[in-house]
Structure 1
């Protein structure tokens, strides 16, 4: 049987302080970068499932790597508080590094590209000029044919009241209505998103991307 590789062969003996610090920064930096990139791609409603990989793989790998390096340093006679101090310095250095920001959501990009059409539909809703919904969307409304692309699910939610003002719900890219673009009036509304929807990204005072929580 092949003997397992010893920690001292993974991390060479006689590590200097700068070696420990640099190795820790590299390990934590790579882990944070991978974590950030993966978190940027996570969207509801599958957050719990999508977070399984980074939690189950990245976190253990980081702990094992740092633990192995720390073990070698301790074997070499370094004080535990010295090693912990170097790891803390590495942690704060990596925490201060800039990371890639999350890109705008597809719904936000779609809205920015077709903002005038969205606003035109809102005005039609305000004037009561939208056609009532179809059998599979009895409580909703249909966008006019020339504006059909603002709600490809062909079902828009419209509500208007004295307490919350006008609220219009679009489903531009998602036929399941899990991710929607919502217009609301900030001076009247109680909340930006309707019903069991929650804020995913705020576009401006009137427009919000919302997701449906199961």
Structure 2
């Protein structure tokens, strides 16, 4: 394989056992290339600036700074880097902050090593990856985080050209997940509905927002305070 075809991976975690397990998983996959395995936020930022990876795996809790600070640095300075958060537990309160900062994947540390590599490839291919142990918690975080309300807008709605735009709770959930870059199949798996049902809801969202594409929907929803 051409070295340029490898997916470059940076691992940031101060837990020695997990760092070793994750490193071994990456090294065992011939299509991945490890660019670094570090235990601090400062070392991660230095590597991001020197050799930006395609995918960064990061623990939200680091000894010298919050993982979200490293995520924000990656988003600002390494726009092509995808970010996979690896957490020790599913009930940590950092989920919404990490997702809002730019993380596109979430795994628990107890997932099998092959699942780590699968998630890396999913992110690199433009998708989002949420492990089964995190799916319900991530969805609950989205539901508990209200969309910013536009002036005189009803709940789950906004005003467009003087007329209210109302989204159902399900449509709001789907819109937020789609805005994070998830494919329709991934949204369906997370919400326990079929991809066909997701498409049906998306078409309703497009109609309500008077748009014709995912990008237009995300833009209009952001402008109207629905995201």
TM-score bracket, normalised by the shorter chain, equals under 0.3
Q: TM-score, normalised by structure 1?
A: 0.23
